Amino acid sequence: MLASTRNALTVASRAQVAVLSRCSRIAGFATKADQVEDIEYKRPAYFDNGATTVMDPRVLDAMLPYFSNMYGNPHSRSHAYGWEADDACEHARSQVASLIGANPKEIIFTSGATESNNLALKGVTNYAKTKTGKKHVITTQIEHKCVLASARALAEQNDNVDVTYLPVNHDGLIDLKELADAIRPGETVLVSVMAVNNEIGVEQPLKQIGEICRKHGVYFHTDCAQAAGKIPLDVNDMNIDLMSISGHKVYGPKGVGALYVRRRHPRVRMRPIIDGGGQERGLRSGTLATPNVVGFGAACEICQKEMDRDKEHVSRLANKLLDGIREHLPKVILNGSETERYFGNVNLSFSAVEGESLLMALNKDLCVSSGSACTSASLEPSYVLRAIGVGDDLAHTSLRFGIGRFTTDEEVDNAVKKVIEQVTNLRELSPLWEMMLEAEESGEPLPKSVLYPNSSTTDKMRSFNAFFVFCIVAVLSVFGQEQSMASEVAVPAAAPANQFDQAKPILAEQKEEIAEEKKEIAEEKKEQQEEIIEEVEAALARAGWMKRVVTPTFLAGTFVTIIMFVVVWIGTCCLWDVKTPDRFATKPMNIHKE
């Protein structure tokens, strides 16, 4: 099965080579095209299953008929094409429901987990604030961006919706007592806590959270995009009222997801966020994408049947990856809890190594990420790592390895080898790594502010940097005015008239060949003269610019800039060695496996 999957994954690259070969032949470059055909394109090993998973070939087989022959609209109930499409969607609905122990009527198909999360938070809150007056929502600081953005959108409305963001500890887990204390009787309508974090893989205690919410009569929503199909889930046993699932995180297609909405004990009331034909029990209007829904259902069924096999395979490879890296590289930190985690998500920080540099160095051989795919383009450190107390510098060194069903032992062995090689190379170029080694040899540890700069240090450093930038901009503005004056004064003089423009043939009867020859000579001389004039004008302009720019004002501004730089440097050095949080004071160097 793995071999067939690999063959399927190389279809696109081979097709691109074939198209390039044909285009080259058409253009007349047969030799180059032949060379292109001989290229064996080697794709890097895929370790980003937290962003998306490879589609299982069995899922694709289930989808194909609904792209070609069974193309009816599942909402058309007047003919056979619509009936067969509707039957396929309902069968998929039962497959998704079976994965989480729900009733098929409680499954609402959406375009993905982002839409499901938006519908859960906004739909429930908008209904409750008008019907019951409840306007309080509780979530955590490490939720997915779509949950945090939905909560922020609710808080920014004019109806005074209040949102509480629960903190997490160093392991990434919430405090259940803090959750219970945060619930306001008669005000809190919803608690939203993700099952497995998308960046660090920490698994929250869903059953205990569900019990607290049921005791206080509050709806419990959980984002299970990273958990469904990977860990056992039962909405009734865990007292879950709403659950978001994504198709492409369970080895299915992109563009499809689901929201579980409890119908009984208690019945969840909510309003739709999309208006239209009233499909999906009136909660999500729009025509279902039958092929995607069928693929989603097939993927959920496969996950349910092979969950134990996947768990054993993925956990073994994850331990192999983690142990292999830790054995050969010191000061490698596993972010998040060591035990309460999904085994396929391995988020590591490499001390004294810039994460983006390591990412680029590994790009040829490994597909890894520096965090969530939705925020990987941002230069800011991960807000999830910040929430668990990781300093900005250490957060910038983190990489996320996502191991999945189709990851092989050979790929893990190669990943360990490449990571060790590239981290070693980058650390040899790092002054911080040199300082850390020298400190260990001398027995005098570095100031913990160097290893773990806290937020206070970072804020002060940013203030000094902002002041320094302001000073530089002020000086450059003076410099720009002087330069502008110089450019206005140094206007080149008009070029003298060309004497050859008025030249006429000496003899009217001269032959046409001689006239053309003279004309060519005249044009050459004209070009030479113009070049000489341009060079002279440029030299005059440069001389005028220097004369105008190098003024007492310019020299004074330069001197002030140098003085400010020295002051900022001294202030930075004074602020660098500051106290660090207590959690680092207790175990300053316990950052790698013994």
| 234 CB-near residues (< 8 Å, 6+ apart) | 100, 101
Q: Which amino acid is at 294?
A: V
79 CB-side CA count, 13 A: 6
- List C-alpha distances in Å: 79 to 22, 74, 75, 83, 103: 44, 10, 10, 6, 27
Closest CA to 456 of 343, 575, 372, 371: 575
Closest CA to 400 of 47, 45, 142, 44: 47
| 183 CB-near residues (< 8 Å, 6+ apart) | 138, 191, 212, 213, 216, 218
The Cα–Cα gap between 548 and 544 comes to 6
Catalytic entry in 23, 224, 374, 573 = 374
Q: Cis link prior to 167 (omega < 30° from 0)?
A: no
Alpha-carbon Rg for the chain, nearest whole angstrom, is 33
300 is catalytic: no
The Cα–Cα gap between 203 and 205 comes to 7
Pairing of strands 219-223, 188-192: parallel
The Cα–Cα gap between 44 and 471 comes to 47
- Which helix (H) or strand (E) segment holds residue 401: the answer is strand 398-402
The Cα–Cα gap between 202 and 419 comes to 23
The answer to whether 200 and 347 have CB atoms below 8 angstroms apart is yes
Active centre residues (catalytic): 374
